[in-house]
Amino acid sequence: MGKKVVEIENLVKRYKELIALDHLNLAVEEGEIFGLLGPNGSGKTTAINCILALLYFDKGSVKVFGKEMQPDSYEIKRQIGVVLQNVAVFEELTVQENIDYFCGLYIQDKMVRKKYVEEAMVFSGLEEFRKFYPKKLSGGLLRRLNIACGIAHKPKLIIMDEPTVAVDPQSRNRILEGIQMLNKEGAAIIYTSHYMEEVEQICSRIAILDKGRCVASGTKEELKSMIKMGEKIHMEVMNLLPFQIAEIKELRHVYQVEYQDGMLEICCSGGKHNLVHILDYFNSREIGFGRVYSELPTLNDVFLEITGKKLRDSAETA
Amino acid sequence: MFFRIYKYSLLRSTRDRLMVFWNLVFPIILGSLFQVAFGNYTEKEVLFHQIPVAYVKEEGADGNFTELLEILETDSELIQVQTVGKDKAEQLLRDGEVEGIYYNKTAEETDGQAEGIYDNEPGKETDGQEELGITLVVQEQDMNQSILNSILEQYERTCATLLTIGKEYPEGIQEAAKLLEEDTKYLKENSMGAASDNGILDYFYSLIAMNCLMGATTGLLCSVEFKADLSALAARRVVAGHSRFQVLWPDLAAKITLQFIYIVFTACYLMFVLHVPLGEQWGFLLLTIFVGSLLGIFLGFFIGVAGRMQYSMKEALCILIMMVSSFFSGLMMDGMQRLVEQYAPVFARINPASLIVKSFYSLNIYETYGRYLQNLGTMLVLILVLAAGSFAMVRRERYASI
């Protein structure tokens, strides 16, 4: 077990009547990418702001690098890099100047800073755009600049609050690869998102938040093992009769069947060879079928099963 | 770190075209338009010049008035007296060589021809001089004639007062004379002050005052980049490993520097390109501009940190305060300051634009610095109040919500 970089205990934060964080407990260890997954309004950004000592909270404690985090914990803050949800760069400074400005808030040595700025530009793929002003950059490049400004000083802990919002797939992949690279270089990373695919792709441990509570946490495998679903099978079937649906439900390990617009969705619990059993049934009843595919449970399924709602739907309606 | 942030802050401000337009280009355009509208007044350079006046004195006439004119000519340099005969005096007036003629006749010879003031026709005389035998004849009604009349009226009042005191309280005559001597100084200040009461210079003073207060939008921007609950940029700076104030000071210093430079540039343009006589006391002029810049920036900073209104609302509030303040300082209407003094004296004493205008005014009109320092002091107190209020509001480092 690695050394704890961030420890949150029983954190409660209220906005008048609304409970934004409800006795939240989290621990982030050295060298890991810790994902905070949850729909909009689940408390991810509030948790980040509490970690950074930007917000008052009603109860609990936040420790960073083993020390209580306070607004004047400058020594601790110097080891943290922050990439906020909203792009926070100066419109009147070029790409290079922006990175230099924010890097300079941490690094005083001119030569070291120059080297770090150059590295940050290479890291974020902005070398060709160094003389560009932010308004001339595309959304993806702007996000990359936002990241470069947050990580140029080579912090030990990087906090990224939804850094890929409204970013094109190419930039998103580049950002995700970059985060993994930063992690390999030794930085612990807290990554918040409501995109489960991203979290699943890069995070070594994940906490799922809903209504300010941590509803589940662990590695993605651990999270998936917490739920009943082990496999989801989709089949194209025409004119399936109700009694046949009932028969499928009776098959071994099948616990849920949905049939809509010629598409059959079968949820199976953790047994092996589920697909074989189902195909056997269709063959034995001489029921024709089209495409068949099987998928393992996603974090969305985990979220759905734990909270009773879909992660993406919550994100969109929030 | 200070100089690096200061440098970047200067860079950012100079690249902000909107800010450069409103703080530098707009005042220059407005100043040029003022010049087009009132140019002839300033070109005549009626200000700060002695007013030429002819003096016709008959034998046995009031000698005190002669002495007063001598004082006003030599000590105060308010008027330039030519003692001549009646015909010569009238000739000078017709030729426009003098602005008026003082007739100092013996009381018995006064023929009561004085009726009405400023008839704008040569030969008409002012009223009320029968007892003393002093009359004023003017060519036309203008500011200078108004000053000449003020001198005469003041003299009359002084004589009448002394006469009354001499009759009813003869032992206090010495003390009264002393007080009236001080009153004469006031007359001098008042008369010289009247020189700018044509309002032309006030427009330019108000323009500079408005320019100073435009710093409010700059100060507002500073606050937005300082408070983490106002912008993501501020949040990013707050979580850096330094006290928030270590980032604020160089930022504020850069904004003040640039605002000061912009206004000095505007003032130079007014003085050297448009030939507006703003004055020659450069040190004090610069000091006033500097304090005015501080006032504008801290006003905006205060508005920025107070309350949780949206940025656009705060910006609108800054502009509203700037415009209202400038309006009541006389930017758009001659004589506005006098009206405000009359109907809202407290507001007149704390209105930021008025204070800046009055500082310039008192600096260039009065010989003493009393009034100037009073206005400057009030501005400094206002700055102190705004700064203290602002820092009291931002002293907490955590926020209830972001």
Per-residue pLDDT tens over the stretch B112-152: 443 333 333 444 444 444 455 788 888 766 667 777 887 88
Q: Is the dihedral of CA B278, B281, B286, B291 positive or negative?
A: negative
Q: Are strands B51-57 and B100-104 parallel, antiparallel or unpaired?
A: parallel
Among B84, B352, B383, CA closest to B211: B352
Whether B232 sits inside 8 A of A93 (CB atoms) is no
| pLDDT digit string, tens, across residues B328-374 | 887 777 677 778 877 888 888 888 999 998 888 888 777 678 888 98
List the single residue in B16, B242, B243 with the smallest CB-CB distance to A92.
Answer: B16
- What is the model's pLDDT at position B143? 64
**How far apart (Å, rounded) are the C-alpha atoms in residues B133 and B364?**
35
Q: Which residues pair with B50 in a beta bridge?
A: none
- List of domains in chain A: 4-224 (3.40.50.300), 228-296 (3.30.70.980)
Q: Which residues contact A225 (CB under 8 A, 6 or more apart)?
A: none
Band (pLDDT 50/70/90 cuts) for residue B308 is confident
Whether A105 sits inside 8 A of B400 (CB atoms) is no
**How far apart (Å, rounded) are the C-alpha atoms in residues B272 and A79?**
54
Please report the DSSP string for A150-204 in residue order: HHTT--SEEEEESTTTT--HHHHHHHHHHHHHHHHTT-EEEEEES-HHHHHHH-S
pLDDT beyond 70 at B44: no
Whether A106 sits inside 8 A of B5 (CB atoms) is no
Band (pLDDT 50/70/90 cuts) for residue B173 is low
In this prediction the ipTM stands at: 0.82
- What is the model's pLDDT at position A7? 95
List the single residue in B5, B241, B247 with the smallest CB-CB distance to A74.
Answer: B241
The strand ranges marked E within B3-142 are 51-57, 79-83, 100-104, 134-138
**Least confident among A43-47, A163-167, A279-283, B112-116:** B112-116
Per-residue pLDDT, averaged over A93-104, amounts to: 95
Q: Do the beta carbons of residue B50 and residue B78 sit within 8 Å?
A: yes
pLDDT beyond 70 at B24: yes
Q: What is the DSSP letter of B397?
A: -
- What is the model's pLDDT at position B162? 78
- Residues of chain B positioned with their CB less than 8 A from the CB of A92: 11-13, 15-16
Band (pLDDT 50/70/90 cuts) for residue B214 is very high
- What is the model's pLDDT at position A36? 92
List the single residue in A53, A74, A92 with the smallest CB-CB distance to B12.
Answer: A92
Residue of B134 and B316 predicted with greater confidence: B316
Per-residue pLDDT, averaged over A88-103, amounts to: 95
- What is the model's pLDDT at position B42? 52
Among B125, B127, B134, CA closest to B64: B134
Q: Report chain A's mean pLDDT, rounded to a whole number.
A: 89
Whether B398 sits inside 8 A of A56 (CB atoms) is yes
For chains A and B, CB pairs below 8 A equal 86
pLDDT beyond 90 at A6: yes
Q: Domains of chain B: which residue ranges?
A: 2-44+198-394, 51-194
Whether B239 sits inside 8 A of A82 (CB atoms) is yes
- What is the model's pLDDT at position A8? 95
Element (DSSP H or E) covering residue A256? strand A254-260
The two structure tokens encoding residue B237? 């700076």
Calculate how close chain A gets to B228, using CA atoms only, in Å.
8
Q: Which residues pair with A151 in a beta bridge?
A: none
Closest-CA residue of A relative to B228 is A54
**How far apart (Å, rounded) are the C-alpha atoms in residues B208 and A72?**
41
| pLDDT digit string, tens, across residues B84-106 | 888 888 888 888 888 888 888 76
Closest-CA residue of A relative to B231 is A88
Calculate how close chain B gets to A108, using CA atoms only, in Å.
7
pLDDT beyond 70 at B230: yes
- Residues of chain B positioned with their CB less than 8 A from the CB of A52: 235, 239
Among A10, A23, A9, A16, CA closest to A212: A23
Band (pLDDT 50/70/90 cuts) for residue B185 is low
- What is the model's pLDDT at position B99? 85
Calculate how close chain A gets to B204, using CA atoms only, in Å.
32
- What is the model's pLDDT at position B37? 80
pLDDT beyond 70 at B187: no
Cβ of residue A82 closer than 8 Å to a chain B Cβ = yes
Cβ of residue A132 closer than 8 Å to a chain B Cβ = no
Per-residue pLDDT, averaged over A26-42, amounts to: 90
Q: Which residues contact A269 (CB under 8 A, 6 or more apart)?
A: A228, A229, A230, A253, A255
Q: Report chain B's mean pLDDT, rounded to a whole number.
A: 80
Cβ of residue A105 closer than 8 Å to a chain B Cβ = yes
- What is the model's pLDDT at position B183? 55
- What is the model's pLDDT at position B49? 65
Whether A101 sits inside 8 A of B8 (CB atoms) is yes
Calculate how close chain B gets to A244, using CA atoms only, in Å.
55
Q: Do the beta carbons of residue B297 and residue B256 sit within 8 Å?
A: yes
Q: What's phi and psi for A235, nearest 5 deg?
A: -135, 140
**How far apart (Å, rounded) are the C-alpha atoms in residues B119 and B239?**
74
pLDDT beyond 90 at B397: no
Element (DSSP H or E) covering residue A50? helix A44-51
Per-residue pLDDT, averaged over A87-116, amounts to: 94
| pLDDT digit string, tens, across residues A185-232 | 889 999 998 888 888 889 999 999 988 999 889 998 888 888 888 888
pLDDT beyond 50 at B111: no
pLDDT beyond 70 at A313: no
Among B372, B371, B378, B370, CA closest to B351: B378
**Least confident among A279-293, B234-248, B298-312, B388-402:** B388-402
CATH number, domain B51-194: 3.40.190
